[in-house]
Structure 1
Amino acid sequence: MGNVAYHVVAILVGAVVGVLGSGFHVGVEKLTAAWPAFLDTGLGLDGFPLYAAAALVAAAMTVVSLWLVRRFAPEASGSGVPEIEGAMEGLREVHWHRVLPVKFVAGLLSLSSGMVLGREGPTIHIGASVAKAASDLMKWSGEDMRGLLAAGGAAGLAAAFNAPLAAVLFVIEETRRQFPYSSRTYIAVVLASIASAIVTEYLTGNRPYMLLEATAIPYGWLPAFALLGLILGGAGFVFNRTLVWSLDHVRRFGMRSSFYIFPTFVGLTVGVLMFVRPEATQGGELLAVQLTKESLPLGMLAFVVLLRFVMTMASYSTGVAGGIFAPILALATTIGLCYGTTLDLFFDLPYQAHTTFAIAAMGGLFAATIGAPLVGMVLVLELTSAYAVLVPVMICAIFAHMAFLALGGRPIYEILLERTLAIEAEARAAGSR
Structure 2
Amino acid sequence: MRRLKTTQLEIILQGAIVGIIAGGVVSGFRWAIATGLTFVRAGYQHFSWPRLGLVVMVSALTVWLLSRLLTREPGISGSGIPQVEGQLQGELDYSWWSVLWRKFVGGILAIAPGLFLGREGPSIQLGAAVGQGFAEIGHAPARRRRIMIASGAAAGLSAAFNAPIAGTLFVLEEVYHNFSPVIWLSGLTSALTANFVSAYIFGQTPVLHLIYAHSLPLNLYWHLLVLGVILGLMGRLYQSVLLAMPKAYQQLHLPQRFWGIVPFLLMIPLGFWRPALLGGGNAIIVSFNAAIPSIAVLAGMLIIRFVFSMVAYGSGLPGGIFLPILSLGAIIGALYGQIMVAWHWLPQTYVINLIIFSMAAYFAAIGKAPFTAILLVTEMVGSLRHLMPMAVLSLVAYAIVDVLRGAPIYESLLKRLLPAAPDDGPMQQVDLTVFAGTKLAESLVGAVSWPAQTLLIRIQRGEQMLVPNGQTKIQAGDLLRFQTRPNQVRQLRQLVNRPAEDGQDGPRV
| Letter in structure 1 aligned against 2:282 | E
Shift of 1:352: 2.4
* Percentage identity across paired residues of the two chains: 30
Q: Offset at 1:203?
A: 1.2
> Which of 190, 193, 205 is the equivalent residue of 1:192?
190
CA distance in structure 1 between the aligned counterparts of 2:69 and 2:421, rounded to whole angstroms = 20
The answer to whether 1:238 aligns with 2:237 is yes
1:84, 1:94 within 8 Å by CA — same for their partners in 2? no
Say whether residues 1:155 and 2:152 are aligned partners: no
Task: Provide the residue aligned with 2:376 in structure 1.
Answer: 379
Of 19, 28, 41, which aligns to 1:14?
19
Matched, 1:117 2:122: no
- 1:106 is matched with 106
Contact 2:67 2:258 in 1 (8 A): no
The corresponding residue for 2:267 is 270
Q: CA deviation at 1:48?
A: 3.7
- Runs ≥4 in structure 1, deviation > 6 angstroms? none
Q: Indicate yes or no: 2:231 matched with 1:226.
A: no
Give the TM-score of the pair, scaled to structure 1.
0.91
Letter in 1 for 2:233: G
The question of whether the paired residues in 1 share the 8 Å contact of 2:75 and 2:99 is answered with: yes
Root mean square deviation, CA, Å: 2.0
Superposed, which structure 2 residues align to 1:207-226 within 5 Å? 207-214=205-212, 215-226=214-225
**Cα distance in 2, alignment partners of residues 424 and 283 from structure 1:** 36
Contact preservation (8 Å) 2:341, 2:348:
no
Other-structure match for 1:167: 167
Query: For 1:342-357, what aligned pairs fall within 5 Å after superposition?
Result: 342-350=339-347, 352-357=349-354
- Indicate if the aligned counterparts of 2:44 and 2:271 stay in contact, CA closer than 8 A: no
Conservation of the 8 A alpha-carbon contact between 2:370 and 2:398: yes
Compare relative contact order (CA 8 Å, sep 6+) and give the higher one, 1 or 2: 1
Distance 1:18 1:123 in 2: 9
Aligned to 1:73: 73
Report Cα offsets for 1:28-63 as digits up to 9, x if no partner.
0111112443575xxxx6344434433433343244
SS in 2 for 1:415: helix
| Conserved 8 A contact 1:14-1:195 | yes
1:431 counterpart residue number:
none
Q: What corresponds to 1:331 in structure 2? A: 328
**Distance apart, 1:90 and its partner CA:** 0.5
Q: Which secondary structure does the structure 2 equivalent of 1:23 belong to?
A: helix
**Change in CA separation of 1:47 and 1:401 when aligned onto 2, cut-off 3 Å:** same
* Count of paired positions: 416
Report the equivalent of 1:56: 57
The Cα offsets for residues 229-267 of structure 1, whole Å up to 9 and x where unpaired, read as: 1211111111011001012322x246x432355421321
The answer to whether the Cα contact below 8 Å between 1:81 and 1:125 also exists between their aligned partners in 2 is yes
Match of 2:427 in 1: none
Greater mean alpha carbon deviation, residues 50-59 or residues 396-405: 50-59
TM-score between the two structures when normalised by the length of structure 2: 0.78
| Larger CA Rg, structure 1 vs 2 | 2
Report the alpha carbon displacement of residue 6 of structure 1 after superposing the two structures with TM.
2.4
Aligned mates of 1:276, 1:128 — CA distance in 2: 38
Residues 248-259 of structure 1 aligned to structure 2 (within 5 Å)? 248-250=247-249, 252-253=250-251, 256-259=253-256
Separation in structure 1 between the aligned mates of residue 419 and residue 223 of structure 2, nearest angstrom? 41
Q: 1:28 aligns with which of 25, 29, 33?
A: 33
In structure 2, what is the equivalent of residue 359 of structure 1?
A: 356
CA distance 1:187–1:33, shift in 2 (3 Å): same
In terms of mean alpha carbon deviation, does 326-335 or 385-394 score higher?
A: 385-394
Cα drift, residue 400 of structure 1: 0.7
Secondary structure class of the residue paired with 2:290: helix
Distance 1:288 1:423, change over 3 A: farther
CA shift in 2, pair 1:410/1:53, >3 Å = same
Task: Name whichever structure is richer in helix by fraction.
Answer: 1
- How many Å separate the matches in 2 of 1:51 and 1:288? 29
1:424–1:67 CA distance, 2 compared to 1 (3 A): farther
